[in-house]
Amino acid sequence: MSNLFDPIKIGDLSLKNRIILAPLTRCRANYERVPNQLMAEYYAKRSEFGLLITEATSVELQGVGYPRTPGIWSDQQLHAWSKITDAVHNKGGLIFLQLWHVGRISDSIYTNSTPVAPSAVKPNARISLIRPEKYFETPRELRQNEIKDIVISFQKAAQNAKKAGFDGVEIHGANGYLLDQFLQSSTNLRNDEYGGSLTKRLKFPLEVTDAVIDVWGSGRVGYHIAPRCDAHDMKDENPIETFSALVSELSKRKIAFICAREHQAQDSIGAKLRKLFDGVYIANEGFTKESAEKIISDGNADAVAFGKLSISNPDLVKKFAENIPLEQPNPKTFYGENKYLFNQAEPMPSQGFYESDKLGYTTY
């Protein structure tokens, strides 16, 4: 039997297998950021995965950076999410909510305000899913009292997630979003208590982690990292030192898991990070069944999260178990309808088409 089907204890929870649903942005909530029945059906269909991690979900309006991504700051959003957790639990599944703030990876078209960041460093990239194409603008540096307010927003979002019936939460600290911006040296140029030395760059991510642990307990909290520094114009002067320090601090807090988006290559640092973490280490990005089995058997991960293959194969667990050929996702149809796409070369898929579950996108 494949080691992917070995049960595993993650924090306070016992999982039936080591096949994890990676957080996948689908842009399927409504324009008020409220989840819907289509999303409930989507997650319920994947309840055989050992653990579902939801699409990235904004903790406040200022933290939004894509069309039709859900939030968890309002009562309306909370109640809508509760229908999704009920649908998953009714099928015997476990589901964590991913908590998200995009920081500088936003635009005033979504928030009617200038994006915020640890420092006023502009990403050298174009904004996703807006046409005609436009580049990111220079963000506004956050004041210290605003940083404290965002920590509170994460904590409130964690409370709302508990009220909505989730089994835990994952903090999105990866892919060039706000927590990652504070962590990495190219985007954090502050000279106060939140920037400069590595210890100070760690301060905000760890304050968020501690605030969320206060709500859930460490055994129901995960953390998402991207140690390649390869998204949204990110760069760190010493990734091994930076991420080793972060992982070591997260291990001290005894959180349930770290999920690392890092495709396998000769320069991968995941094996080194794994040795620093006492919890469950989940590998992610570009894995097949065979490569997932290998990284687990080699001891460099405890479980594997699957992204795009999970979209086109809601029955991925069954197909892995029975060696059934997989459906491949269609990259041209990754997103739902988007009113911010003007003059697009190709029309967006119809409602009926994107309900087919043969599309998907891993947020980065």
Total-model pTM: 0.94
Q: Whole-angstrom Cα distance, residue 309 to residue 360?
A: 8
Q: Is the Cβ–Cβ distance between 87 and 45 less than 8 Å? A: no
pLDDT interval class at 341 (50, 70, 90): low
Exposure of 325 by Cβ count < 10 A (0-12 exposed, 13-18 middle, 19+ buried)?
exposed
- 145 Cα distance to chain centroid: 26
Q: Give the torsion sign (CA, 242, 244, 250, 253).
A: negative
Least confident stretch, 129-133, 242-246, 303-307: 129-133
Q: Which residues contact 234 (CB under 8 A, 6 or more apart)?
A: 176, 180, 181, 184, 186, 187, 226
Nearest to 52 by CA among 305, 308, 364: 305
The DSSP string of 306-350 is E-HHHHH-TTHHHHHHHTPPPPPP-GGG-S---TTB-S-SSPPPP
Q: What is the DSSP letter of 124?
A: S
| pLDDT tens-digit readout, 154-204 | 999 999 999 999 999 999 999 999 999 999 999 999 999 999 999 999 999
The pLDDT, as a whole number, for residue 334 is 62
Average confidence score pLDDT of the chain: 92
CA Rg value for the chain: 19
- For residues 37 and 83, the answer to whether their CB atoms sit within 8 Å is yes
The pLDDT score that the predictor gives to residue 129 is 77
State yes or no: is 43 an active-site residue.
no
pLDDT at 221: 99
Find the mean pLDDT for residues 249-269.
97
In this structure, what are the phi and psi dihedrals at residue 241, rounded to the nearest 5 degrees? -65, -45
Identify whether the C-beta of residue 118 lies closer than 8 Å to the C-beta of residue 204: yes
pLDDT in tens, 195-234: 999 999 999 999 999 999 999 999 999 999 999 999 999 9
Query: And the tokens for 114?
Result: 């200038």
Under the banding of pLDDT at 50, 70 and 90, the label for residue 330 is: confident
Catalytic one among 42, 110, 177, 354? 177
- Cβ proximity of 363 and 22 under 8 Å: no
Least confident of 119-133, 224-238, 240-254, 263-277: 119-133
- Beta-bridge mates of residue 24: 362
Residue range 102-122, pLDDT digits in tens:
999 999 999 999 999 999 999
Spatial neighbors of 359 by CB under 8 A, at least 6 apart, are 26, 311, 312, 329, 330, 333, 334, 335, 349
Cα–Cα dist 296/358, whole Å: 28
Q: At what angle do helices 37-44 and 75-89 cross, to 10 degrees?
A: 30
Mean pLDDT, residues 255-260 taken together: 98
Phi, psi of 172 (to 5 degrees): -85, 95
* Greatest CA separation for the chain: 56
Contact 99, 168 (CB under 8 A): no
